[in-house]
Each structure stands twice: as structure tokens, then as C-alpha cells.
Structure 1
């Protein structure tokens, strides 16, 4: 095994059988800062590239990082207004792999997953990326669920209750220590649940690190990392985008500092653009922004737990207990500001 979790010779034979023109030998390289499903870049002898996804290594929480489900969602979005990579293959064959593998096209572009990347971009390019993010989110929320075959992807029951129940459960399973504020926030959020007016496709983890942007004009050319995608309230996604969007002067820990650079819109500008583009009511945004911060803290704790259990899951940037505490503290501040 050269790349963690990949039997390279078996995968090379599988890729050859797909008939996509791959010329051996293939090389495998772990890419991205993602801490969930593991992403590998495959390059063939002629320099052609593809992307391979597999679940993390070690014992996983039930339903987490479901590559087969991600394959279904990406397949349903092929040819839609939502830009996604082309899906080329899926295998669960135990002779090839110990976990599902999905092969996708390689989408050339820029992933702004670190400040060092953002610093190479012009102010105009940063502004274009910000504007394209909200437009792309509007496209995701406009997908016709029935015609895409995604109407039965998840429950149609009220999304806020589902999220609070699910992520409270995830916290209990993955916490590495006691953090009373997590349970206290759950209680506050539960008491402040807004009425849900519509059900749409929800990406579930939409932020700048999970899109590929054009090297020419900064437009989003592919949305990736769909493993948390579900059906729910579209405001959950704009709330999450804001949760991953620090502004100048805010002392965020982690790799999400790019948005503090000149050119990127403020959180208020992002939200205003989304609501102007979609015509939705912004009244419940404070709830969804706070819930997203709470949820990001729980996700980070889960990554911390996986790194503790199996260090092979580590990417270039990993969370710390201090990072989790920082995110939860921001969620408490947000709940206070929105008077939840």
C-alpha cells in the first residue's frame, strides 16, 4: 500500500477495466486538507489525471463518509446546473478494496483551502470567487428533487430537529472530553427552532475549501465533498458558509482565514447576495448560522477523535482541542448576538 488505504495494483487493474484510457503505471498521491473521505490524485504514464475517493481509515460512525451515497448524489447532478466532477466508476469489490472507492474526473482549477493560496490571487479574483459561491449555492437549492431522482435521499421531516438530534448523537459518540457548552447550546437551539417553509437539496458542508474555482475568472467550476448532503432547509447551507467565513480582526484558529483578505465579501455581503439571488426570507439566518458553528465544532471533535484512533487519517492541517473550544465559544457568542 503506497497511498494509505489503497491497494495500488488492484486499483490500477480496476481503472484499466473502466476503459477511460488510463495508461499504466499509475501513481497515487493524497491531496487536499479534507479530514473526512480521503481523496487521492491518480496520474497515469501520459500525465492524465483522475480523482479517487474512499472512506477514512479505522472504525467509523454509522453512515458517516458514505462514498456510495456520495456517488449517487454526484451521478444525479451530472448535466445539471450544479457544477460537479464527472463520475467514472464505483467499486465495493473486496478483491480490490476494503471500503467503497469512487473514481471521478480531475477538474483543473484553484481550491482556496489555505491563506497561502488566497494570497496568490488578485483582489478582483477573490471578489469573483465570493460572488460565485452564493450563486452556486442558489443553484444547489434550485435542483428539482423529483426529476433528479433525489426525492428519497433523506427524510422530509423538519430539518432543524433532525440536525440537532443527529449532531448531539455524534457528539456523544465522538467527544474526547466534556465540553458543557455543547449541550447547553443544543438546548438553546432547540428552543429557538424556526418554522421550515421548504425542502431542498442541502450540500451540508458548503465552504470555500469544498469548491474548485476557475483559474481564469474565479467562477466555481466544481462543488466537491458531498458526503453530508441531505434534504432540508436551504438556509442551513448559507448559515454554514457564514460559519466558515471569518472576517478581518477575528482570531480564528484553523485553515479558514482566507476570507479575511481584501477582496472577499463580508459575511453580511455574502448573505445579502444569497437572499437577493434566491428571493428567500432571511429571518431565520441567525439560528442557522449558530447551529452551523455548533455543528462545525462537533465535526472538528470527530476529526480529533479519528486522529487519536488512527493517525494515518491526518491531512496537512488537523484540528486540536483548542480549535474545537474556539469554535464552540464562537457559537455561544453567535447565540447571544442573535438572542437565541
Structure 2
């Protein structure tokens, strides 16, 4: 984990707080939070114990278009007037006198982040179910956003989403892979051949799963969806497929250090899918494709994390680094999904 002085200048950030009109009492303290391996996130406290969250790109050489915190902040700010639970953006700065990279300041949302097995195991089965049931409800809210009303119609291309995503993530794989993986190449070919028709264009979160939300202490309802850096416009079923990719069931080996959804109380993938489809009325036929696609993307992301951790060890986070064995297991599982009927 990098020293805070390597990633942020507390004095310069304090001056930025003043320019934003954010009331604070010096000195500001910064602590790395979250288990993410991508953009770096810090809990900021002042001498009066007020709290904010600061986000910046990771250290090291970045792939083109990746880790764009300014774009991420634009999306989150646009959601302030919607039903989507997201932290409020307080400021964005891209000024070398403050930081060598862009910074985003957002409100601190109080709640429980269910991001370790210790936390999940401390929850009752009833609380686990309540949290799980809130996930498809939140996805339905994201996919119901009126793009014109919130000014996001130009966020991304309206061309077929699967084609765009296949091109993007194939490129990411080629730039970040640590070895040749023929099974992934085979999976890419299958996904390219079997694209289902796209019926609509909505806001897509892009990385929606249990670790990327904050839940209410009392009810388990989601009070904030986090990590919007992969958000774009596209097929809403892709988000559900991504959630299914993360949703490990008992006996599976793709969950890495976080096979949370295999514990008692959590619904299985079929039940999660049914809940989302009942809320939205969308066609279930394409979900198998998007489940396999979600696993493929998860494998590509995992390989990128592995590469960055090898190239720049300071980027490692508490979640650890994906192993080659886990990435291979995800690809194998995705190939199995493509064969299911």
C-alpha cells in the first residue's frame, strides 16, 4: 500500500477544500479505504472528525481510457436528481498545483460495506437475503434513468454494446495479459459469434456487485452504489450478467477470497435473475450470454489487476491479487455457461 504522501498532498488538498467552500478544520488525515485494485480511494477526516471520500487514479502506467475519475464523477453527479443511490460529488480538480492527477471529492455515506468474509459471516441469513434482494432493485433503478433528463445521452456511443465491449476488453487483454491463454481466446470467439439482439440503450453501471455498494445498518437496503468508472451506455442485461458472474454458488471455485453468496441466506443465481426480470419485464433469453460475457470481462479485469500489481507493487490492496488459477477457473466456468441450455 503506498504512503499517503506518494498519492496526495494534504496541504494542497486543504487549499482545494477552502476554494470549494468545504468547511473543515486542519489538519486533514487520509486513510486508504476499500478493497479495490483500480482507482485509489481515501477516507478524509479533519480535526473535527468530519468525513469525506477522495478518489484518484492508481499509480503507475495506465491503459488508455482506463481509470478516468473525472468521467466517473460526471456520471455520479448526474444521478443526484434520480432514484439511484450514489454519493454526492462535492468537487473535481485537474490542476497540477493541487495534484499531478485528477482528484474527486465526494460525500461520505454512512453504512456497511459488505466486502470481507468476516463481515458476511457476521450477518444473519435474513440480513444476507435482505441485502441480496436490494441488488436487483438497485440495478432496476440504474437502468430506468432518463438519459436525456440527466444529460448523459452523450456519455458513450449508442452503437451495439456487445460489439463495443468485445473490442474494448479484447484490447485490454492484449495490453495487460501476462501469458497466452487459448481458452480465453476460444471464449472471445464464442462471444463474438453469439451476440444476442440489443433492444434498448440504458445507463449501465459496468461493475455492479456486492462489494461495490454500501448497505443500511438497520435494513440492509443499498444506500449507495460505488465505483462507476466502468459505467457506460448499453444493454442493461449486461449488468445483470456481471452480477451473476460475481454470484458464486456452493461448490464453485471462482469466488476467490470472497465466495460470500454461497453462504446460507443468499438467493441463488436463478432467484436473483428472476427478481430482476420481474421488476423490469426484460427478456430472459439473453441472460446466459451476458452471464458468460460477465465472467469473460471479470477474467480480463483480473489479469489487468495481476499485471498492475506485478509492475507496480504499491497498487496492491487488501483484497489481494487474483491468481492465475482463479482467472483460469473463471474462463473455464464461462465456457461452461456458453454450453448451457
Q: State the TM-score, normalized to the length of structure 1.
A: 0.97
**Aligned partners of 1:199, 1:5: CA distance in 2, in Å?**
37
**Aligned partners of 2:259, 2:18: CA distance in 1, in Å?**
41
- Structure 1 residue 3, shift from structure 2 partner: 5.0
**Aligned partners of 1:252, 1:157: CA distance in 2, in Å?**
32
1:84 maps to which of 61, 83, 86: 86
Stretches (4+) displaced over 3 A: none
Q: Is the 8 A contact 1:112 1:258 kept in 2?
A: no
Is 1:329 the counterpart of 2:332? The answer is: yes
**Aligned partners of 1:4, 1:255: CA distance in 2, in Å?**
28
Matches within 5 A, 1:1-340: 2=4, 4-317=6-319, 318-338=321-341
**Aligned partners of 2:268, 2:111: CA distance in 1, in Å?**
24
**Aligned partners of 1:217, 1:34: CA distance in 2, in Å?**
25
Give a deviation string over 1:212-233, Cα, whole Å, max 9, x none: 0000100000001000000000
Give a deviation string over 1:141-185, Cα, whole Å, max 9, x none: 000001110001000000111111111111001101111111111
The 3-state SS of whatever aligns with 2:66 is coil
**Aligned partners of 2:338, 2:274: CA distance in 1, in Å?**
20
Which range moves more in the overlay, 323-332 or 77-86?
Answer: 323-332
Tell me, which stretches of 5 or more residues in structure 1 are unaligned?
A: none
**Aligned partners of 1:252, 1:172: CA distance in 2, in Å?**
22
- Structure 1 residue 337, shift from structure 2 partner: 2.0
- Structure 1 residue 4, shift from structure 2 partner: 4.1
- Structure 1 residue 320, shift from structure 2 partner: 1.9
- Structure 1 residue 62, shift from structure 2 partner: 0.5
**Aligned partners of 1:99, 1:326: CA distance in 2, in Å?**
36
- Structure 1 residue 48, shift from structure 2 partner: 0.9
Report how many residues are paired: 338
**Aligned partners of 2:53, 2:291: CA distance in 1, in Å?**
32
